[in-house]
C-alpha cells in the first residue's frame, strides 16, 4: 500500500466512509495499522539519523571544520522531534 493511498484514506472526511459494518471498516483498520507501522519506522529512522548527525558534527568539530552554519544545524537538530 502506498504512502499516498494511506494519506488519502486517513485524511478522508467521515462522511466519505461507508457503513461501519462494511468492508470499509476492515480496510480502515488495515490502513490505520499500516500508518502506525510507517510512523514507527520513520521515528526509528529519525533516531538513527540524529545519531549519525551528532557523530558527523563531532568529527567536523574535531577537525576544526565546524563553522557557524554547522553550529546552527547542530542546534536545530536538537529540537527536531
pLDDT in tens, 15-71: 777 666 677 778 888 888 888 888 888 888 888 888 888 888 888 888 877 677 777
Q: Which domain holds residue 67?
A: 3-11+18-78
The number of folded domains in the chain is: 1
Confidence of residue 80 (pLDDT cuts 50, 70, 90): low
Say what the pLDDT of residue 12 is.
78
What does the alpha-carbon distance between residue 60 and residue 67 come to, in Å, rounded to a whole number?
9
More confident position, 10 or 34: 34
Say what the pLDDT of residue 1 is.
63
**Res 81 pLDDT > 70:** no
Cell 522531534 sits at which residue?
A: 81
What does the alpha-carbon distance between residue 11 and residue 31 come to, in Å, rounded to a whole number?
11
Of the candidates 42, 8, 9, 43, the residue with the CA atom closest to the CA atom of residue 26: 9
Amino acid at each position: 500500500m502506498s504512502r499516498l493511498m494511506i494519506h488519502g484514506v486517513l485524511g478522508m472526511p467521515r462522511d466519505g466512509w461507508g457503513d461501519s459494518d462494511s468492508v470499509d471498516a476492515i480496510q480502515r483498520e488495515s490502513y490505520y495499522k499500516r500508518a502506525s507501522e510507517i510512523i514507527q519506522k520513520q521515528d526509528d529512522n529519525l533516531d538513527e539519523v540524529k545519531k549519525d548527525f551528532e557523530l558527523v558534527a563531532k568529527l567536523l568539530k574535531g577537525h576544526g571544520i565546524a563553522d557557524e552554519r554547522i553550529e546552527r544545524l547542530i542546534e536545530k537538530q536538537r529540537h527536531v522531534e
